[in-house]
Structure 1
């Protein structure tokens, strides 16, 4: 369940920000293909990347991981 929450929330946050996978991948200094594998659940997301994504979207890692439904960070 939590993996699905992470995948869904990553995609939703990106789409809500009107960003492409290529744009988010550029922020993370990686390829679009590599980032796509995070959004599909094909590859696990390293902790440091998860932290960078949370900061980029202005949310918490707990939200990304599905541990809370509160989108704004505490």
Structure 2
């Protein structure tokens, strides 16, 4: 069951075994082994796969046919999971995005551009969160 589901999820994202392996720090041979049933991922790797594909480990293991956690209606957690997924998909954690040393060399124009982007995102979020008829201070 794990192999079939893993392969289907990987193909849905149009990833090769090697690309998926790089994203979760295992080899192509390991991914191939998981998919063909010759290997079983350890608990940590299984969790990485579930996080990457935004499904439960129970879904990957075939214990449920529902890929989404039951009762996970918490929009905030869903948003954080989506952001985490995007960080992984775009390889931001591997680019040293949060490495202060890499930010030291930005030009003033680059910093202004980042600030403008953050302000735009915050503005859009504030607009979305405003309720009709609510007083704004």
TM-score tier, shorter chain, comes to: 0.7 to 0.9
Q: Shift of the alpha carbon at 1:31?
A: 1.8
Q: Distance in 2 between matches of 1:33 and 1:73?
A: 29
- Larger relative contact order (CA 8 Å, sep ≥ 6): 1
Asked whether the 8 Å contact 2:2–2:34 carries over to 1, the reply is: no
- 1:41 lines up with 2:37 in the alignment: yes
Q: TM-score, normalised by structure 2?
A: 0.49
Q: Deviations over 1:7-51 (max 9, x none)?
A: 110000001111110111001222211221111111111011000
Which consecutive aligned stretches of 4+ in structure 1 deviate over 3 angstroms post-superposition?
Answer: none
TM-score by length of 1: 0.86
RMSD of aligned alpha carbons: 1.0
Query: Separation in 1 of the partners of 2:4 and 2:62?
Result: 10
| Distance in 1 of aligned mates of 2:2 and 2:12 | 15
- 2:91 is aligned to none
Point out where structure 2 has 5 or more consecutive residues left out of the alignment: 71-137
Q: Which has the larger radius of gyration?
A: 2
Question: 2:14 is matched with which residue: 7, 13, 18?
Answer: 18
Unaligned runs of 5+ in 1: none
Taking the TM superposition and a 5 Å limit, the aligned residue runs for 1:1-74 are 5-74=1-70
Tell me the alpha carbon deviations over residues 46-73 of structure 1, each in whole angstroms, 9 at most, x when there is no partner.
Answer: 0110000000000000100111111123
Report how many residues are paired: 70
